[in-house]
Amino acid sequence: MCVVWRSPQPLWQALVDWAICPGQAMVKVQGVTETWEGNRATVLQRLLGTLDLTTIQAVGHRVVHGGDLYRESVVVTAAVREAIRSLIPLAPTHNPANLEGIELLGHLLPGVPQVAVFDTAFHSTLPAAAATYPIPYEFWEQGLRRYGFHGISHRYCQERAAEILDRRDLRVVTCHLGNGCSLAAAVGGVCQDTTMGLSPLEGLMMGTRSGSSIRG
């Protein structure tokens, strides 16, 4: 069986790459690439200036670490912002940038609902045997456990595979590969194990992270 599926084309899309040097970003907007000066806030504000902000009805944010607080996407409130801030020690590179985007959009689009979609949510179903490290249990009680990441990508791949094959009982291993990499195993769309753990550092070798050996 050959299934051809094409995703809907976005009306607008852009990419910001901060890998050049501090205070400078390579920005690609609607296929046109330029180098912009500034910090995250100024670049994002300029980027959004290429849009008609009055047409935006909602904003979605990928948030890397939701800890054990969030098992699904949530509408952003003051309490959610504080929770994301409290989890910065577990994802010090990602959560501050995620929070900065939420706060900036709240300023630029007052009254427009924002939704936080957590990378860790898909892995919240990990059984205790997969989520627990072989360390004293008191550390588990302090929140030191396997959380898993790239869950948004893994969930999408799991659901698309089930849709294409018209099966809901699949036993699937999905591979998220790029500068950040991870694997996840699921049964019937429910995550059972993943290569990343307490932070996004574990698992496969990555562009700027050494990873660790995959458990047998």
Residues acting as catalytic residues: 119
Alpha helices in 74-150 (DSSP H): 78-86, 95-108, 128-131, 137-141
Q: Which amino acid is at 52?
A: D
Burial 8-35, CB ≥16 within 10 A → b, else e: eeeeeebeeeeeeeeeebebebeeeeee
Q: Return the closest-CA partner of residue 62 out of 120, 105, 123, 124.
A: 120
> What is the side-by-side strand order in the sheet with 182-187?
171-176, 182-187, 190-194
What 8-state DSSP symbol labels residue 7? P
Is-contact 141 101, C-beta < 8 A? Answer: no
In angstroms, the CA 11 to CA 126 distance is 37
